[in-house]
Amino acid sequence: MLKGIPPVLSPELLKTLCEMGHSDRLVIADGNFPSESIGKNAKVIRCDGHGVPEILKAVLCVFPLDTYVEHPVTLMEVVEGDPVETPVWDVYKSEIHAADGREGNIVQNIDRFKFYEEARNAYCIIVTSETALYGNIMLQKGVVV
């Protein structure tokens, strides 16, 4: 255990977050995300028993968001006609604003298959037990100043 580090961040996850450089991407995936097939070229870290909001909040304690791009945070857009509500996105945006504090909207939504395509280039995919549909979130790392 370390002082000031959320206990949900395992040694493996902390090491991986530290290894990531500016502009590297991290996906925090819901339980339905095809993490192993999408993450063939990424580090896949399991955080079973935890939801995305809990992992997101902990990651944002140590992970700077990129300030050189307009939208360092990406959500998977709901497929047109899919009758799914996404209240978890409000939780994500609240955590992001609390950690980052930037004015304006730094979160973008992209098409499901474009999200998969971009996730294939992620440095790391964190697998959670999140049950919320469209609960995936991608973060682009910034620099510590």
Q: Could you write out the DSSP letters of every residue in 25-49? A: EEEEE-TTS-HHHHTTTSEEEE-TT
Range of the domain at 35: 21-140
pTM here is 0.96
The yes-or-no answer on residue 82 being catalytic is no
User: CA-based angle 37:43:46, to the nearest 5?
Assistant: 80
Q: Find the catalytic residue in 22, 68, 82, 111.
A: 22
pLDDT at 103: 85
Q: Find the catalytic residue in 30, 48, 66, 134.
A: 66
Q: Is 11 within a domain?
A: no
Q: Is 123 left (phi over 0), alpha (psi -120 to 50) or beta?
A: alpha
Mean pLDDT of 56-75: 97
pLDDT at 104: 86
Q: Find the catalytic residue in 24, 50, 97, 116.
A: 116
Q: Is 43 within a domain?
A: yes
The yes-or-no answer on residue 50 being catalytic is no
The yes-or-no answer on residue 116 being catalytic is yes
Total structural domains in the chain? 1
pLDDT at 145: 85
pLDDT band at 38 (very low <50, low <70, confident <90, very high): very high
One-letter amino acid for residue 57 of the chain: K
Q: Is 5 within a domain?
A: no
